[in-house]
Chains A and B, each alone.
Chain A
Amino acid sequence: MSCREMERLVAAGRETEFAAHRATCTGCGALGLEMDRFAETAASLQAPAASRALFESLYAIPTWTVSCDGAEDLLARAVDAPLPAGDRGRLESHLSRCTACFEAGEVLGIARDLTAPAPTPWLTAKLAAAKPAAPRRRAIWGSILGPRGAIAIAYAAAVLVMFLGLNPADLARKAGTARLEQTARSGVQVARNTVVDRFGAFQERVFRTFEAVKGRVGGYGRAALSNALALVMRNDTPRRPSRPRNDDGSGAWKLSETETWTWRADRAPGGES
């Protein structure tokens, strides 16, 4: 038994119109009567009395827990030193129910337990580079024994050897130059009898001496350059030769040797490694 009008008025909260409607509608009249009866019942009910024991337990709440304000203070104190047993119990009781304070306590605990993180290598290098450079005193032996020092010493030794004439190639050149000078000297002696010849011999000696000096300087320079290049580009590993090819000019592989031919450094053409 439902009345659409009653539902509409009830949903709209129009109590006055509902009161008028219930006077004319049988179903709604009965419902209104029921409502009045239970409103009367509800109004006649008295509040159940709370026991004294309940009040005592409510009074005691501050003795076994703390408020959020109190929890903040206790958490802050707990960072520096352990709390007394009573305070610790009250705080734990509060934290067991209050998520916000529990999280705050966890964060404080984490902050206390954190250790200083080690900087990453790139950061260390960057920080070191950012620092103003202190005047550095390089150890003499350190610079001498360093790679650049060793290369400089090697070059100096090579140049010294060359200038002292201890290089075999240089010795050979010197021998050749000496023979040339001897020839020039003997040639001049043959033509020493007349003034014209003597002037011509002087002129010839100057020219030959100039040529000898030029050859010596050029020889020293080329020797120094070749020695330096050899020192820098020295490579002990013999290069693998190209595979044998046919001699007919086509550039094709020698098929019969391709299958059996293996390269070994000690048998490489041109000598040993």
Chain B
Amino acid sequence: MSVPDEKDLVERCRKGDDEAWRQMVDHLGQRVYSVAYHFTLKREDAEELSQEIFLKIFENLHRYDGSYPLLAWVVSLARNLCIDRYRRRKRERSFRFVSDDAVAPMLQSGDDPAAEALRRERTKMLFWALGEIPEDLAEILVLRDLEGFAYEEIGKALDLPDGTVKSRLFRARAEVARKVRERHEGSGRGTMATLAVAVAGFV
């Protein structure tokens, strides 16, 4: 699919051109759904969030002035909706129990089952850690590492300077790593304690 002239596309959508709107959905639909899924980790919630985001896009087309990429504008528009979902998930502690089904749509099937299982566990750990870090760090990590947005696009979407985007992203990665290590260490201690109890039981 060729990349349409975004400003012209928006103008046509504003004038009620249904074909232009279909082009807009085709152009952005997959990216929006992907962002929504990374913030919700649930297909139904992601579809609902995607509809909300596109509804907001449709109703706010008059606000787009073409000064920066349409996708960045869409992210800035969808930001509050995504953060709301993210907070809800944190409140419901859904990140604590990331299921295999939740990460399955993101994993490529490989020939090596052991490597696949390891990748699945790490992916689950990644999303657990995303639920543990502050939301301003989590959103930047999702946009950069999971969605592949450029620094400039993230800066425009979140209204931040490039330097701040970079440092915040670095902090986000470090926080995720720290959370994962702490969890590993905790589970290690837990395993040792269980082993000690078992040994004591035998003795």
Name A residues whose Cβ lies closer than 8 Å to a Cβ of B: 1, 6, 10-13, 15, 18, 30-32, 34-35, 37-39, 41-51, 54-55, 57-59, 61-62, 65-70, 94, 97-98
Contacts and interface: CB of A to CB of B under 8 A. Distances in A.
Q: Is the interface of A mostly helix, strand, loop or mixed?
A: helix
Contact of A62 (B18, B34, B180): B18
Interface in B103-155: 105-108, 119, 122-123, 125-126, 129, 141, 145-147
Given A41-B119, A41-B123, A68 B59 contact: yes
A41 B122 contact: yes
Q: Is the interface of B mostly helix, strand, loop or mixed?
A: helix
Interface of B: 13-14, 16, 18, 21-22, 25-26, 29-31, 33-34, 37, 43, 46-47, 50-51, 54-55, 58-62, 105-108, 119, 122-123, 125-126, 129, 141, 145-147, 163, 166-167, 170-171, 173-174, 176-178, 180-181
Contacts of B177: 31-32, 34-35, 38
A15 B170 contact: yes
7 closest A-B pairs by beta carbon, nearest first, are: A13-B167, A50-B33, A48-B105, A34-B177, A47-B34, A42-B145, A45-B106
A13 B58 CA distance: 38
Contact of A48 (B34, B126, B176): B34
A48 to B, nearest CB: 4
11 contacts: A34-B177, A34-B180, A45-B106, A45-B107, A47-B33, A48-B37, A48-B46, A48-B106, A50-B30, A50-B47, A67-B61
Contacts of A70: 16
A38 B61 contact: no
Contacts of B58: 61-62, 65, 67
Contacts of A45: 106-107, 123, 146
Given A38-B126, A67-B14, A67-B62, A58 B163 contact: no
A99 to B, nearest CB: 11
A12 B50 CA distance: 35
B119 A58 contact: no
Contacts of B166: 13, 15
Nearest to B184: A34
B111 to A, nearest CB: 15
A38 B180 contact: yes
Given A68-B59, A97-B55, A46 B108 contact: yes
B119 A12 contact: no
A45 to B, nearest CB: 4
Contact of A39 (B13, B22, B173): B173
